Structure 1
């Protein structure tokens, strides 16, 4: 036998002597490869989820069930200091503007200011007045609830014996809470002509200064009567006492008689006051 033939025979003997793999081993090996691939896939999926979760937690999540209003900044409430004297003069002017400060009609006598939730309550005694006398209103007294809203003094509630149109005028009345000087103002002022009293001026003032009014203050007021053209046809100095208690801050009723010669000429009245240190 040649050497080449012998080497070929020996190689074939080795191959044939090696036992053929059993089919169970083949199946088991296939299962091992299959489980290896599955395990690799699961490992990749877990790694993907873990990595993805880390990314997701960094995203800006939004809750669609939450109302859009909740994302708005909370309203800022500011408290503005306003002296009680300023609240009082505002309320008295509102009463006058609503036609409720008429000494010969519906009259509300100022009593004082109280602090209340969200603002102040201003109290008035309500009267029904005639040409000579006033009687308490049997339907009760008047209270105004005052607040500062958006930087403006306003009335958000009015109770008492008030006509509907007067109530609406009160609720519509507004002023900026700018400081006021020490002054005697006349929010109600009109000319009256009656057979009993003749021609006169009816007035009701409000004092914007301190209570009690200091003796060191000198208040000089002048009453002017104007004709239809706006010219002054009559004037006189007024000498009225200043208030010494809070209830006297407003609500005083004045009647100043005028010469009979002004009956056909008097069209308008005004009062100009000047406050100076005495």
Structure 2
């Protein structure tokens, strides 16, 4: 069988199949590349199937996709409880023990990690329009994912977290701090062990990817980052355009734009829906930051 390397998941696949069996991306499709070098990742087609171990995952729908798993007896997945759509009686569901620092909340409510074991069917879905992004990971491969973008992972993919270390303070003084984490306070780290595994993310809007060469860098909106190779470095970057035309009570350099600078080598992916950080509060202190005034 002839093989080709999927331009989206970077794994060898079967070119005769309509979709990549490892990530669900269409095979016979023209690549869409912007003038700045971003490649749009095509959404997974309705009813496309992804194979992992002895199990399979079918992506149903396009606006708010559902990931429907047919789990073999020896396979299992884990996910946050709020994305569970349905499960048949044969599937075994239970709380998954996490390391002590796991205290994740969403809109003020605690999140509980759940594991689903075969045989049986389990369906998962986020509650926002967007795309399901499939990332097959080979043994030893690691990926950094922005918090709350995780949908599920197969049992042989381990989960960890680390602080983003990207923050700035708009408080009045040392006694009145107001710290902002534009990329989230923590980032998720997923690693494949012993054998290949599958990681599914939910990306609001459309997804765009590109590869950074060693030393190559670019600026992105902090909340637009979806995932990146752990080899890609990130730090805060502030731009202070001169506020000509703004109200006279603003100091000359108080207006600013908050960016994150990513430096290669490695792959990065961004989502098209994001919330730009506030840019009218004076920044008193921050993590390691590069600055541009113009």
With the shorter chain as reference, the TM-score category is under 0.3
- Give me the TM-score of the superposition, normalised by structure 2: 0.20
Higher strand proportion: 2
User: What TM-score, normalized by structure 1, do the two folds share?
Assistant: 0.21
More helix, by proportion? 1
